[in-house]
């Protein structure tokens, strides 16, 4: 019974393909199908990766051109009068009246304000009385001298007539001493006269200084005093007025950075703008580059003075100005945009060669190349840099040596770039 069942099962297994040989055949076929699928997947990945880097990235370019280049140094500062004078008071007292106001034109020796002079006038009268008294004492001393001289002369004549018997030598010596004392008193009286004279002149000078006068021809910029105000000039003279001598000629004081000061020279031309006239440019000329430095928050600058013509009086002291100093002019130069010097290719473009290495390049990874920025930085030693152009659909680096720059365009001192050549400045878009 068991033997018969086996004979019936064998044709069934054969018809269903469950015998051992058919199973091996199917296994081989399965491996072949999976291998072909892997190859197809690798091929598609390679083709997709190569076309993605080459076809989907688009670049923005700018042309190389030939032209003139002006190198500018920019600095900020304030406008100031060529000669500004602070007028104060050497005396303390109460302001009796003020003669001028803001923007008034004044002349040399013109009275600006005046202190109350009541006390000063009394001091002058007192000094005059002291001088008169000292002079009277001089007259008195002169009379005493005359009297002592006559007395000495009389004693000498009597002694002579009496053959040295009527008047002793002691009396003669006493008379001579009296005459000498009278002369000394006269000298002291004369010294007192000089002292009283000096005191009078001092008080008269103080009286004249009670009238505060202008030392220059100019314009009143500030007035810091009002009638009735008390002025205290104990340690230093308080500033009552600020005068500008001539506002038609002004100075612009700017702070030039230490990195740029080596290019700035006396006589260079410049232009500047102020906020009050945003659409107007004013000419100026370098007058002085000072050696003394200033350090503010770690930034070292050098004060530079520019001459400014202000004939129309449009500019005013204290205005903040931004100056562009022309330090160099380059004519007929090959110029490249600064954006092209800053451009670094995407990392994918540095590895374009990977798409041509076959399937193994995808299946077996390789060591990542150095970042392009590091390569560019290593190449940019000194003025040696590189720019990129598109040749035969691929990015191509061109080494150049740069010269002067105005911040937008840079002169090419050496390198295989020609006017009209398109240089890559940035990645514009991606097709993903």
User: pLDDT for 298-317, tens place per residue?
Assistant: 999 999 999 999 999 999 99
- pLDDT score, position 379: 42
Lowest mean pLDDT segment, chosen from 114-118, 144-148, 380-384 = 380-384
CA angle 70, 74, 79 (to 5 degrees): 125
Distances (CA, A) of 173 to 25, 150, 212, 268: 167, 14, 60, 88
- pLDDT score, position 143: 92
Band (395; pLDDT cuts 50, 70, 90): confident
Per-residue pLDDT averaged across 396-421, rounded? 89
d(CA 61, CA 428): 9
- pLDDT score, position 24: 65
| pTM greater than the 0.75 cutoff | no
| Class level of CATH domain 86-111+211-243 | mainly beta
Please name the residues in contact with 194: beta carbons below 8 A apart, sequence gap of 6 or more. Answer: none
More confident position, 254 or 56: 254
Distances (CA, A) of 376 to 283, 346, 397: 41, 12, 10
Domain ranges of the chain: 73-82+244-329, 86-111+211-243, 117-209
H or E element at residue 71 = strand 65-81
**Phi then psi for 145, rounded to 5 degrees?**
-60, -45
In sequence order, the β-bridge partners of residue 256 are 302
- pLDDT score, position 357: 44
- pLDDT score, position 404: 87
- pLDDT score, position 100: 95
- pLDDT score, position 101: 94
Cα dihedral 105/107/108/114 (nearest 10)? -70
Band (353; pLDDT cuts 50, 70, 90): very low
Just give the CATH number of 73-82+244-329. 2.40.30.170
Per-residue pLDDT averaged across 363-367, rounded? 44
Phi-psi region of 164 (alpha: psi -120 to 50; beta: other; left: phi over 0): left
Length of the chain: 432
Per-residue pLDDT averaged across 25-48, rounded? 68
Please name the residues in contact with 226: beta carbons below 8 A apart, sequence gap of 6 or more. Answer: 95, 98
**Tens of pLDDT, residues 83-115:** 999 999 989 999 999 999 999 999 999 999 999
* DSSP per position, 270-323: EEEEETTEEEEEEEEEEEEEEEEEEEETTEEEEEEEEEEE-TT----TT-EEEE
**Phi then psi for 274, rounded to 5 degrees?**
-130, 155
**Tens of pLDDT, residues 214-260:** 999 999 999 999 999 999 887 777 899 999 998 999 999 999 999 99
- pLDDT score, position 33: 76
Distances (CA, A) of 416 to 148, 162, 276, 336, 391: 115, 132, 47, 12, 14
Please name the residues in contact with 334: beta carbons below 8 A apart, sequence gap of 6 or more. Answer: 64, 65, 66, 411, 412, 417, 418, 419
Please name the residues in contact with 260: beta carbons below 8 A apart, sequence gap of 6 or more. Answer: 73, 75, 327
Band (368; pLDDT cuts 50, 70, 90): very low
Structure tokens at 53: 């880097």
Percent of the chain with pLDDT strictly greater than 70: 80
**Tens of pLDDT, residues 122-168:** 999 999 999 999 999 999 999 999 999 998 888 888 888 888 777 88
């Amino acid at each position: 019974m068991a033997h018969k069942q086996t004979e019936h099962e064998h044709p069934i297994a054969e018809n269903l393909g469950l015998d051992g040989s058919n199973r091996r055949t199917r296994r081989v076929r399965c491996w072949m199908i999976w291998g072909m699928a892997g190859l197809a997947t690798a091929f598609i990945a390679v083709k997709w990766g190569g076309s993605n880097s080459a076809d989907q990235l688009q670049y923005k370019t700018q042309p190389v051109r030939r032209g003139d280049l002006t190198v500018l140094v920019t600095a900020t500062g304030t406008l100031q009068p060529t000669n500004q004078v602070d007028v104060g008071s050497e005396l303390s007292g109460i302001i009796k009246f003020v003669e001028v106001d803001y923007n008034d034109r004044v002349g040399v020796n013109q009275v600006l304000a005046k202190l109350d002079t009541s006390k000063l006038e009394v001091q002058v009268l007192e000094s005059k009385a002291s001088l008169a008294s000292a002079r009277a004492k001089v007259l008195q001393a002169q009379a005493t001298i005359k009297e002592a001289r006559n007395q000495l002369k009389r004693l000498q004549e009597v002694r002579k007539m009496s053959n040295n018997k009527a008047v002793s030598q002691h009396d003669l010596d006493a008379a001579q001493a009296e005459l000498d004392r009278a002369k000394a008193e006269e000298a002291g009286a004369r010294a007192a006269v000089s002292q009283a004279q000096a005191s009078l002149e001092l008080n008269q000078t103080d009286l004249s200084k009670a009238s505060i006068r202008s030392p220059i021809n100019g314009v009143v910029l500030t007035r810091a005093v009002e009638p009735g105000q008390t002025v205290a000039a104990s340690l230093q003279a308080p500033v009552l007025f600020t005068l500008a001598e001539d506002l038609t000629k002004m100075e612009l004081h700017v702070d030039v950075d230490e990195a740029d000061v080596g290019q700035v020279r006396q006589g260079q031309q410049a232009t500047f703008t102020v906020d009050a006239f945003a659409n107007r440019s004013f000419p100026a000329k370098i007058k002085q580059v000072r050696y003394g430095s200033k350090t503010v928050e770690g930034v070292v600058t050098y004060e530079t003075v520019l001459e400014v013509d202000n004939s129309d009086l449009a500019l005013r002291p204290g205005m903040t100005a931004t100056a562009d100093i022309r330090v160099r002019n380059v004519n007929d130069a090959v110029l490249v945009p600064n954006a092209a010097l800053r451009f670094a290719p995407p990392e994918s473009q540095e590895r374009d060669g990977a798409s041509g290495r076959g399937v193994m390049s995808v299946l077996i990874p390789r060591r990542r190349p150095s970042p392009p920025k590091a390569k560019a930085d290593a190449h940019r030693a000194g003025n040696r840099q590189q720019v990129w152009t598109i040749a035969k659909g691929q990015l191509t680096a061109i080494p150049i040596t740069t010269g002067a720059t105005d911040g937008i365009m840079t002169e090419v001192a050496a390198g295989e770039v020609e006017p009209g050549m398109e240089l890559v400045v940035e990645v514009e878009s991606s097709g993903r």
